[in-house]
Structure formats: structure tokens, C-alpha cells
Structure 1
Amino acid sequence: MGQPGALRGSIGIAGIVFLVVAAASPLTTVGGALPVMLAISNGPGVPLAYVVVALVLLLFSVGYATMSRHVVDAGAFYAYVTRGLGRTTGLGGAGLALLAYTAIQAGIYGLAATTSQGLIIRFGGPSIPWWILAAVLLAIVGALGYRSIDLGARVLGVMLVLEMGVLTVLAATVLIRGGPEGYAGTSFTPSTFFHGAPGIAIMFAVASFIGFEGTAIYGEEARDPRRTIPLATYIAVTLIGVFYTVCSWAVVVAYGPGQVEAAAGADTSGLVFSAAGRYLGAAYADVMNVLLLTSLFAALLAFHNAIARYLYALGRQGIGPALIARTHSRHGSPHIGSLVQTGSAVVILALFALAGADPVLALFTWMSGLATITMLVLMILTGVAVIAFFARERVDTRAWPTRVAPALGLLGLLGITTLALANFTTLISGSPTLAAILLALVALAFAGGLIVARSTVST
């Protein structure tokens, strides 16, 4: 039941921002990734890492948002690279996008299943294998992803308000009451930032922003996309950057800049929840633990929707079976792309389950590292494409949004990517051999897109 045609939806600025910030998964980042950053990177200097990454991405977003007024396509980065650098390079970018989103979503399934398992046991239930819980989550995500984006946006909106609400209350309480060493203003000084391993902090911070491309992905389902997409992009990047900066600073304040690294190393998984228990009570910490699962679910749904729309955009361009380009006759959703995405997630999860791999130490860690590097490479390609597009098309001759800001953003991304590559083995907590294999997958994804482009041209 489907037909060729355009996607349908009436999502506004708030709905798109919800989808993008949900993909960033605030409670997962603050409760899960932040303690690791504090333990192994630059400790009390972590808040400034979020500021640096947010500023680079805002510069990148200037050209990206300006180009969105001229390119409205569910393929987003893929479509931008195609318009700027040609169809062949564009399909290479599509390969990178599919790899990045598929990897991060698969990794989150592992973390979400483990979180579900822990909550069930915590409240007196049985120990259920992680892969069964992952299958249940996958079925729910698949059902929502099959339907209209408006429904998914409403579900994500409710979840996002709840998780950001509990973190806001925690951060406000800590910053009002203060910590054992005062207010840790040194977190925003260069000397504190360059303490330890700031490159690792930057790399984790970049991973926290994966998914902000979603502002353009939903352009065809938005009201007035030429206005909605630029505003949603700026709001999403700014909101994520400010929120993570304040929350990370609050955690530093809660433990004190001189003690937070040791505290994070001693209790990585419970650091933020312990702070919540100390400042707001044990019941509040329990609520945060439950909302961590809804945060992960929100991220799963957001990435599912992004992948389904990428597949739809490729099918519409004649890449792959034409069936993928069909939209649901009632929901107006890329329902075939949604089903294909669900199938690919089943395959990846089955491989890790059959191999007996740890759902967090292997599945989540490896896939998150792979997604971070892949997305950085894709953003660099997109940055070059934006500059090339405006230089060739001359549809906008303003210097700042079409040349200066995109060039500065591109330089920032190149610097961040250099740091990420230098610290990649640390990010995945693996061996140099594993790092080489995962980096080879990035190259293969791009090369695969190039081969598909050449083969479709020749036929």
C-alpha cells in the first residue's frame, strides 16, 4: 500500500527541533557520556569543549541553513553534497550518512536494552536477555516510524520535555546551592580546558551533536521549509550547546573541580544520578533512571526516521529499488524505507547477539565511535559543497553566509577531525586493529557510493 510521490506532513519549527534534540539524547549524554568525558579527558574543562564544538557547528550551520533555502530534500547532507560537488561525490556522501546513522542507532539499541534490563531487575523483575528487550524496542520504533512524522514528533516532544525538565531542575538546584568548592568558574578558562586530554572531550562533544542534520531531512514535511529549516537549525544547535554546557558545568560544581575527575573515575555510570540523589533525594534519582530509558527510545526513533528518509531520497533518485521511493497513501510517510531500516537493524543486532558481544562495551562503544568519525567526514564534504554551490550558482552573493562563515566552520571541522582521528582508539576503547577496521568501513562506505554512482551512470 503505497505510491510514488512527495512526503507529507505539517511539522513546524518546534517539532523539527524536538526531533533533532531528541536524537542528541540529552539525558543519555549527561548521564552516560559526560561522566566518561570527566574521567578520561580534561575533567573540569569539559564544559568549554561543548562551547567550542557548538561555535564551530554554528559557523557550519550558517552556510548549511543558507543553502537550505535553495535545496529542500529529504536527503539533506547527501542532497547538499550532490548539488555542490556532483552526483558521484554526493552518493559517496549518502553512503557515509547511512553508515553513520545506522551505526549510532544500532549502538543505542544496545545501550537501551541494557538500561531496560537494569531497570527491570532494579524494580524486582526477572533478568531478560538484552537482545529480547532490543527486539521489543525495535518493534515499537518500527511501528511509529512507519506512520506519519507528526505522530513521531509528538511522542518525541513529550519525552524530550520530561528528560530536559529533570536535568534543568538538577542543574538549577546545584547552581543555586553551590558545591564543595564554590562555582568552578575555572571550567571556562584556557588553562583548565587544555588540562589533560582536551581532544577526547572535543570528540565526545561532537558525538553529542550527531543528528542535527535532521533539520533539513524533514524539509519536505515542514510548513514553509525555506523559513522553518534555517530557524530550526540555529535553534537546535544553540539549544544543544547551551544545555550541555550548563549541565556539565553543574556536575563539575556538584563535585568540585578538584574532585570531579576522581569521582567520575570511581563511579562513571552513577555519577550524575548520585548527584541527583544528594541534591534532590533518592526518589528523584530513580525518576531520572527511568527517563534515561525514554531518552534512549527518543533517540532511536529520531535516527530511525532519519535513515528512512535517506533511503526514500535515494530511491527517488533511482538509486536502489523504486519501491523505496513510495510513500504511504494515508500517512504520507516513507514506509518502505522505514521497513528496510528496521530490517537492517535486525541484522546488526542479530550479529552482535549471536557473537555473544557485550551490548555496551562492544555494540554501543564501537558503533558510537564509528558514527562520530563518519559524520565528521560527511560534514567536511558538506562544508566544501556549500562553498562550491554558492561560488558556482551565484544565487546569493553575500560574503558572510556563503563564503566566510562556511570556510571558518570547515576549518574548525578539519581541526576537530584531526583530534578525533588522533584519539579514535581511545574513543572506541579498543585495539589499533579494531580502529583500523572501523576506519576502513568509513572508506568503504564512501567508495561504495562512488561505485553505485558510476554503475548507475553506465547503465
Structure 2
Amino acid sequence: MTNNRIGTISLVFLLVSASAPMTVLAGGVVATFAVTGNIGAPLSFPVLGVALALFTVGYAAMSRYVHNPGAFYAYISLGLSRVWGVAASAVALVSYNAIQIGLYGLFGAALAAFAGAHWHSTVPWWGWALAAWATVALLGQLNIDLSAKVVGAFLAAEVVAVVLFDLGAFGHPAGGTIAVDGLKPHNLFANGVGGVFAFGIAAFVGFESGAVYSREVKDPRRTVARATYAAIAVTSVLYLISAWALSVATGPRDVVARARDPQSGIPFSLMAAHFGGIVADIANLLLITSVFAALLSFHMVSARYTFALGHERVLPPVAAHVGRRTGAPAAGSLLQSLLALVTVVLFTALHRDPLTELFTWLSYVAAVGVLVLLIGTSLSVVGYFSRISSPETVWQRLVAPILAAVSLTAITVVTVANADSVLGTAKGSVLTYALPGVVGVAALVGLVWGIVIKAARPAVYRGIGVGGPQQSWAGGALAGLLGIEPAPAS
């Protein structure tokens, strides 16, 4: 893959677009109020933001030494062990493919509803999903510059729409007064708080993917860290204000009921009331482009993980094939596209619901998987810096990563324990065990494969996390090219 294409601003666009602000407002925030009945939900975003910022301290410090598109796979390989790194790679592949493929359900359903209402279209959700699939598959084969520009344009438009909604909400508060109930801790830490955090963490998924582009950024030692901090700051503030704005516009006492009413049409009905139907329709379209931008962002992340694993021979070498002219991870992109196509066709053939099943199920798998990766990476930071001499402070290499691991573990427990509220199933339902179990099975398969590689292919094993079997831990040309700081074997 080609180097030095992405600056800090472009990378921030990629990370924030993966989190999809308009999708979070129109989908995640409304669903949180509706499912949990917790009016303190807005406060959950800065709380989660603090936990993710703690994670970023160690993540950013390690990103100055490890520039590998395998991201968490490489970090955990270098900080814990290569066997655990391979386990992490399996979890990452499942998680990022899951969220990307699940978004086709949301995209198809949202565009089918909009087109039916405004264009009298009878195209089913899967028709629109397949059209998006073909576009993403094409863009995935092109260079990163074009994809970043497409994502950046969509992101700018949707952020403007979200800010416009916020201004309208605060300018026209229910009852004539801006209520602060959504910001009071006792309202958050009440019934439904577990579900609130489960939905909330899903809203942030994507912020952590900066390291995937480490070989393509202009300044590997700084760009990833800066962009990740910026992405957390932007999303935390934007989601806090927007969720609060929704409760202000409807009134804290009515926000849950309005969110649960499928005929209420919030937040778009509120935008129509404040700015007119045309503005609301444009915002609705921006929801669709928001989902598309996230589709493209997660496609690129999945493709780069596949590239890294093929390059280091954890997967067959053909997985590392790149486009001759574009430098894009062509094989990884093609594999992700094929997997997405098969899944969408399968859900269509089985007549499964694109929103409550394809999107919700796979998004939940992704949220749990990414949380597991964040915990593993936090622990890997501690392990990595215990083995090398570096100028990082105790806060960066020890205290913040440990605090992050503890807080993220608590969030993971809450997310899994409240699976029923997130998935809309009965407590104890098979889904509440099966979907988190997908992440566990992926980790186990990866762990076994790592053990097999260690025993049967020692040269490949030695190259895990450092560029491939041709590279030893002692250093050399490839490590210098990748900018990887050698670390002791484990």
C-alpha cells in the first residue's frame, strides 16, 4: 500500500464518519431512549468518552512505535504475545466485517423507506443495499485519496445537519425552557443504565481504527494519535449535545414516549417543524449518506486488516495483493465485498428483517468485539513498554492503560449483561448468548491458529506483528520501512 497520502484532517474524517453522527442521532439516540427509558442517556457520552480517552493515552503512545495496518493485531502481538495477537486478528476480522455488513441492512431499509415516501419507489431494501455494495466494492479498489474525499464530503454535510437540528431544538425547547434533566447523574445511573452504555459504546465504534492507516499517513508518529484524540473529542461533544437537544425539543418527560412511537418521526419531524419539510428531507437523505460513509470506512478497515494478515502469512499471501496503480489492498477489499454480498443475499433469501436482525445483530457483535480488542490493546501497552526503553511517562505506559482496561472491562460486562435490552429479546434468549459467543468463538479459533503457527511455522510466527517471516526481531530493512520498533520475543 502507498505511503504518505493521509493527513490528520483526512484521518479524522475517516474516523468520525465511521461513527456516523447522523446515524447515531436518528438511530442510536432515539433507540436508546426508546429501549431503556432512561432520560439521562445524554450524559453517557462524555462518561464513555473519558474511558475511551484513557485508552487513547496508551494507544497513542504505542502508535509512535508500531506502524502496521494490522493495528490491534500488531499491538497485541508486540505487547502480549504473537499467539494472542492472532486471536485478536480473528476478533478484529469478525468485528469490522460484522459492523460493515450490518450497515447494509440499515442503508437499504432507510433508503427504501425514503424512496417509497418521496419517489413512489417499490425497490426493496436489498435492491438499494446491493447498489451500495457495488459502489463500495468499486471505491475499495481505488486509492485512499478518493475514498477519503467521498467520506469527507458526506461527513461535513451530515455534521452541518446535526448542528442545525441542535440549534433548532435549543431555539424551540418544549415548554419554553431548556431542561437539564438529561445531564443529571441520578437520571443516568438509574434503571436502564446498562442498556444506555451498551448502545453508547456502539456509537463510538470506528474511532479506534486510525492505526489501520498507519502506513498511509503523512506522519506515522503523530497523525494517528492526533486524529484519534480529535475523533473522541468531536464525537463525545457532538453526541452529548445532540442527545440532550432531542430531550430538550420533546421535553424530558415526553422523550421516551416520542422515541417509542414509530409515528413520531423524530428527529426529522422536529426539523420539519423548526426549518420546514425540505430541510427535514435533506437531513433524512444525509442519514442515508451517513450510513454510506460508514460503510465505506469500515470496508477500508476490514480490507487493511486482511492485507496485514496476508503480508505476515497469518492468512495466505494472496490476501496481501495490492492494486498496481492505486496501492489499495485489492485482495482484502475483494474478500470483504464477497463476504458482504453472501451475507446480504442470505438474509434476503431467509426473509430476515434488515433493521432488527441484520443491522442490530451484527452491530452488537461488532460492539462486543471492539470492546474486547480495546481491553487487549490497553494491556498490551503495559506489556510493550515494560520491555523497551522509552521516554513515555508512567501515566502513558502504565497508569492510563490500566485504568482504561478496568473501565472498559466494566463497560463490556454491562454490554453483555444487558444484551436482551439492546437486542429487544427476552432475558435469557438464545441470542443473548449466541451473539457475544461469536466473539468468543473467533478468539478461540484465532488462539488455536496462533498455536498451530508457532509449532508448525516458526519463521512465520517470528514475523507476526513485525512485517512478515522474512523479518527477524533483531531489526532490518523491512522493520525500518514500516517504522516498527523491535521488541523482545514472547
| TM norm. shorter chain > 0.5 | yes
Flag the 1:120–1:166 CA change in 2: closer, same or farther, 3 A. same
Displacement, 1:250?
Answer: 0.7
Flag the 1:450–1:172 CA change in 2: closer, same or farther, 3 A. same
Letter in 1 for 2:300: N
The equivalences for 1:330-409 within 5 A come to 330-409=325-404
Work out whether residues 31 and 269 of structure 1, in 8 Å CA contact, stay in contact via their aligned partners in 2.
no
* Aligned counterparts of 1:367 and 1:402: Cα–Cα separation in 2: 33
Structure 2 length-normalised TM: 0.90
Q: Which has more helix, going by share of residues? A: 1
Work out whether residues 68 and 230 of structure 1, in 8 Å CA contact, stay in contact via their aligned partners in 2.
yes
* Aligned counterparts of 2:262 and 2:189: Cα–Cα separation in 1: 24
Displacement, 1:451?
Answer: 2.0
Question: Identity percentage over the alignment?
Answer: 36
The equivalences for 1:62-141 within 5 A come to 62-141=57-136
- Which of 439, 442, 445 is the aligned partner of 1:445? 442
Q: Deviations over 1:354-385 (max 9, x none)?
A: 11111111111111111111111111111111
Aligned to 1:417: 412
Q: Does 1:255 align with 2:250?
A: yes
- Which of 295, 298, 320 is the aligned partner of 1:300? 295
SS at structure 2 position matched to 1:221: coil
Q: Does 1:274 align with 2:269?
A: yes
Displacement, 1:120?
Answer: 1.6
The equivalences for 1:13-52 within 5 A come to 13-52=8-47
Structure 1 length-normalised TM: 0.96
* Aligned counterparts of 2:413 and 2:447: Cα–Cα separation in 1: 24
* Aligned counterparts of 1:257 and 1:188: Cα–Cα separation in 2: 11
Displacement, 1:268?
Answer: 7.5
Aligned to 2:451: 454
- Which of 260, 268, 271 is the aligned partner of 1:265? 260
* Aligned counterparts of 1:400 and 1:133: Cα–Cα separation in 2: 48
Aligned to 2:151: 156
SS at structure 1 position matched to 2:381: helix
Q: Deviations over 1:156-206 (max 9, x none)?
A: 000000001011011022223433262122322221112331111111110
* Aligned counterparts of 1:39 and 1:133: Cα–Cα separation in 2: 27
Flag the 1:42–1:387 CA change in 2: closer, same or farther, 3 A. farther
Displacement, 1:217?
Answer: 0.9
* Aligned counterparts of 1:193 and 1:89: Cα–Cα separation in 2: 36
Displacement, 1:262?
Answer: 1.4
Displacement, 1:435?
Answer: 1.9
Q: Does 1:205 align with 2:200?
A: yes
* Aligned counterparts of 2:407 and 2:263: Cα–Cα separation in 1: 30
- Deviating above 6 A after TM superposition, structure 1's stretches of 4 or more consecutive aligned residues are none
**Larger CA deviation: 173-182 vs 215-224:** 173-182
* Aligned counterparts of 2:123 and 2:151: Cα–Cα separation in 1: 26
* Aligned counterparts of 1:41 and 1:444: Cα–Cα separation in 2: 29
* Aligned counterparts of 1:44 and 1:180: Cα–Cα separation in 2: 17
Work out whether residues 107 and 129 of structure 2, in 8 Å CA contact, stay in contact via their aligned partners in 1.
yes
SS at structure 1 position matched to 2:191: coil
* Aligned counterparts of 1:228 and 1:397: Cα–Cα separation in 2: 17
* Aligned counterparts of 1:137 and 1:9: Cα–Cα separation in 2: 28
SS at structure 1 position matched to 2:69: coil
Flag the 1:333–1:261 CA change in 2: closer, same or farther, 3 A. same
Displacement, 1:105?
Answer: 1.1
Work out whether residues 42 and 198 of structure 1, in 8 Å CA contact, stay in contact via their aligned partners in 2.
no
Letter in 1 for 2:340: A
Displacement, 1:397?
Answer: 4.5
Displacement, 1:392?
Answer: 2.0
Q: Deviations over 1:194-235 (max 9, x none)?
A: 233111111111000111122111111000111111111100
Work out whether residues 173 and 251 of structure 2, in 8 Å CA contact, stay in contact via their aligned partners in 1.
no
Letter in 2 for 1:241: S
- Which of 135, 144, 153 is the aligned partner of 2:139? 144
Aligned length: 454
Work out whether residues 182 and 256 of structure 1, in 8 Å CA contact, stay in contact via their aligned partners in 2.
no
Work out whether residues 9 and 148 of structure 1, in 8 Å CA contact, stay in contact via their aligned partners in 2.
no
Work out whether residues 32 and 269 of structure 1, in 8 Å CA contact, stay in contact via their aligned partners in 2.
no
Work out whether residues 35 and 422 of structure 2, in 8 Å CA contact, stay in contact via their aligned partners in 1.
no
Letter in 1 for 2:440: A
* Aligned counterparts of 1:234 and 1:264: Cα–Cα separation in 2: 31
Displacement, 1:421?
Answer: 1.3
Q: Does 1:58 align with 2:65?
A: no
- Which of 191, 195, 198 is the aligned partner of 1:196? 191
Aligned to 1:3: none
Letter in 1 for 2:239: Y
Contiguous gaps of at least 5 residues in structure 2:
458-490
The equivalences for 1:290-329 within 5 A come to 290-329=285-324
Work out whether residues 154 and 290 of structure 2, in 8 Å CA contact, stay in contact via their aligned partners in 1.
yes
Displacement, 1:294?
Answer: 0.4
Q: In angstroms, what is the RMSD of aligned CA positions?
A: 1.4
Displacement, 1:150?
Answer: 1.0
Displacement, 1:452?
Answer: 1.9
Aligned to 1:434: 431
Aligned to 2:478: none
Displacement, 1:425?
Answer: 2.0
